[in-house]
Chains A and B, each alone.
Chain A
Amino acid sequence: MNADTIVEYTAAILMVTGGLMSLVSAIGLIRLPDVYTRSHAATKSSTLAVLLTLLGGFLYFWALERFISVRLLLGILFVFLTAPVAGHVIIRAAHRSGVKLADISKKDELAEAKERLMEEQNLERLNREKKNDSGV
């Protein structure tokens, strides 16, 4: 068993781990109660799964032909970069379009924050109006 074979095995095991991770996230996708929690499963563990797999692929090709695939690296970088943003954007869209939280959720902090923001803005506006009034 030479080094290459070990690397190949490592790559394969990475891939299987990735597969398992992804299955876990899939189970999360089924079992979790609402879109927000499901998104955790989908984005985080799934991203990890992909990263593991791509890494496995990278290693495999390196072991096979000493080939360093720039594209694969770029892909890893890309997924790393975009997956969180995508998750963020979609969840924000969900929230803004009024998707309900699951019943067991205790607190909707974003909504509260928004309310606070609104109140502050209202307050500010009122103050401004007051100033204007006094100025006249």
Chain B
Amino acid sequence: MKGNDVILRTVSRIVVFIILTFGVELFLSGHNNPGGGFIGGLVLSSALVLLYVVFDIETVHQGVPLDFKKVAAFGAMLAVLSGTAAAVLGHPFLSQGFGYFDLPIFGVTELTTVTIFEAGVALTVIGTVETIILSISKDV
């Protein structure tokens, strides 16, 4: 008997889009509002989880052809490297810098190196959560 998932799938497509947008927003606004790398990453990965639940691994993989293990490794490495960069530049390990720049379109914007660190965190979270879920699921 073939499952009739039309409603679910249609709604999910919209919902996933909302979640993804929201996740990115959380990630970016984390410095001044609730959110940040962890939460952003978690929300993004929960969007992916929804996709996996509603669709299936192979379908999703066609859309998102990523090796999540490597994503996780890359993220974690990025986090460590962002700290190392400061050390190479002669600051204490993990020193972060921030400043205000007047950018053409965005106006006065605050840019911080924490964002790179946070990106690493987010990537690790996404990569890890998906790796775990996929590893278990593929073992069916």
Contact = CB atoms under 8 A, between A and B. Distances in A.
When A and B assemble into the complex, do they touch directly, with CB atoms less than 8 Å apart?
A: yes
Contacts of A81: 11, 14-15
A8 B77 CA distance: 50
A82 B18 CA distance: 12
The B interface is mostly helix, strand or loop, or mixed, namely helix
B89 interface: no
Contacts, number: 16
Interface residues of B, number: 7
Secondary structure of the A side of the interface? helix
Nearest to A85: B11
Nearest to A88: B7
Interface string B1-26: 00000011001001100100010000
A131 B68 CA distance: 51
Interface of A: 74, 77-78, 81-82, 85, 88-89
Interface of B: 7-8, 11, 14-15, 18, 22
